[in-house]
Amino acid sequence: MSLKLTDSVTWVGKIDWALEKFHGEEYSTFKGSSYNSYLVRDEKTVLIDTVYGPYGAEFVANLEREIDLSKIDYIIMNHCEVDHSGGLPELMRRIPDVPIYCSAQAVNILKGYYHADWNYKVVKSGDTLSLGEKTLSFVSAPMLHWPDSMFTYMDKENVLFSNDAFGHHFASDLMFNDLVGQDELMHECIKYYANILTPFNKLVTKKIKEIVAMELPLDFIFPSHGIMWRENPLQIVQKYLEWADDYQEDQITIIYDTMWNSTRDMAEAIASGIRQQNKDIAIKIYNVGQRDKNEVLMEIFRSKMVVAGCSTINKGILFHMAGMLEMIHGLSFKNKKGAAFGSYGWSGESVKMVADSLEKSGLEMVGDGLKVLWKPDSAAKEECEAYGRLLAESL
């Protein structure tokens, strides 16, 4: 399958309708995804990015139906993670001498993955490549979201090939942002940002301001996953600036892990107390042992406060809560408050462990946490409600 996007750009990637997990088991892709590769024809022809490795042979076969491979003059790798570079080994077996334009860090990564000495051409911000009528300009974007990342801008048609930036995991053969459901699209965009780009907020803001200062006309943004932006493409850039600014909505997210539902009862009573104090704030409650972790992290990203609860097991905390706390730590959320709670039977270490983890993750803690022995009775539930009111007051 191929799709003509502009007069000179043709999509030659792969829609992965069956994809359910990404980054190993780290990221859920309930809507599938796509690996977007672009063929640009001018006096010279360039291929921008490839596809995930398992689809390498299929990619090259489809590409050969679109163009004689010997007519490809250049390859550009904006980012070398295997979901973008995986088609290279099969392609380079056919056209081994075609130069690959990429960042210096990308050369090391490509050699590390494929152990091949291809014809690398290192580029940096400000470098250009003439295709004839059109010119490509390279913009380094390290840590958005790997050290090798860069963007490629094409004049005349005013296209930004942004690789992972402004992308999302969303399979659709409609391809363009104005043709798909907007709520569904933006859900996948904020989920992608929250789970992948949050640690790089300051770099996101700095890079966007740098690009804006270039005053480049922009009619299209073509990322390497998901939908292409052609209708008001700057809308996703504005969203990135908003999300990168230590984003929060008027929301509290309560997460818990439980063995016999005592901690769940606490979570619901705390939520009741929050509602008594604030009738307007959104409250989300998730059992992290049952709900998708990436959807939960997206809701934490949206929140002013994270309230985390866990029962005690073996003088520690339950498996899924431990994993969630580790992911919260890695994402380095800013401008959020935190609180801890939990039930226990005899030793009761979990609340302090949860509170310590949230504090080490940079959250401003409210109180020392709330512990309840065994299953909360009516008096304990009233204590939980009072705790919820206290948390709401702290906002």
Residue 200: is its pLDDT beyond 90? Answer: yes
Examine the domain organization and report whether 225 and 346 are in the same domain: no
Q: What is the pLDDT of residue 1?
A: 81
Residue 140: is its pLDDT beyond 90? Answer: yes
At residue 330 the predicted structure's pLDDT band, cuts being 50, 70 and 90, is very high
Q: Which domain holds residue 198?
A: 3-244
User: Torsions phi, psi of 207, nearest 5?
Assistant: -70, -40
308-317 pLDDT, tens digit per residue, is 999 999 999 9
Contacts of 242 (CB under 8 A, 6+ apart): none
Residue 67: is its pLDDT beyond 90? Answer: yes
Examine the domain organization and report whether 173 and 130 are in the same domain: yes
Examine the domain organization and report whether 303 and 347 are in the same domain: yes
At residue 70 the predicted structure's pLDDT band, cuts being 50, 70 and 90, is very high
At residue 144 the predicted structure's pLDDT band, cuts being 50, 70 and 90, is confident
Examine the domain organization and report whether 281 and 214 are in the same domain: no
Q: What is the pLDDT of residue 262?
A: 97
Examine the domain organization and report whether 31 and 157 are in the same domain: yes
Give catalytic residues, as residue numbers. 23, 79, 81, 83, 145, 164, 192, 225
> What CATH number is given to the structural domain containing 228?
3.60.15.10
Residue 341, both tokens:
């709670």
Examine the domain organization and report whether 33 and 80 are in the same domain: yes
1-29 pLDDT, tens digit per residue, is 899 999 999 999 999 999 999 999 999 99
Query: What is the model's pTM?
Result: 0.96
Cα gap 29→184, rounded to integer Å: 13
Q: What is the pLDDT of residue 145?
A: 87
Structural domain ending residue among the three candidates 215, 244, 273: 244
Q: How many CA atoms lie within 13 A of 161 on its CB side?
A: 30
Structural domain ending residue among the three candidates 216, 244, 272: 244
At residue 325 the predicted structure's pLDDT band, cuts being 50, 70 and 90, is very high
Q: What is the pLDDT of residue 69?
A: 98
User: What percent of the chain shows pLDDT beyond 90?
Assistant: 97
Structural domain ending residue among the three candidates 211, 244, 277: 244
Q: What is the pLDDT of residue 152?
A: 98
Q: Kindly list the distances between the CA atom of residue 127 and the CA atoms of 101, 123, 130, 151, 293, in Å, as whole numbers in the listed order.
A: 11, 6, 10, 11, 41
The length of the chain, given as a count of residues: 395
Cα gap 190→330, rounded to integer Å: 17
Examine the domain organization and report whether 154 and 301 are in the same domain: no
54-65 pLDDT, tens digit per residue, is 999 999 999 999
Residue 121: is its pLDDT beyond 90? Answer: yes
Q: What is the pLDDT of residue 163?
A: 94
> What CATH number is given to the structural domain containing 335?
3.40.50.360
Examine the domain organization and report whether 140 and 170 are in the same domain: yes
Examine the domain organization and report whether 212 and 333 are in the same domain: no
Examine the domain organization and report whether 172 and 204 are in the same domain: yes
Examine the domain organization and report whether 233 and 317 are in the same domain: no
CB 285 within 8 A of CB 271: yes
Examine the domain organization and report whether 160 and 278 are in the same domain: no
At residue 336 the predicted structure's pLDDT band, cuts being 50, 70 and 90, is very high
Could you give the number of structural domains in the chain?
Answer: 2
Q: What is the pLDDT of residue 212?
A: 87
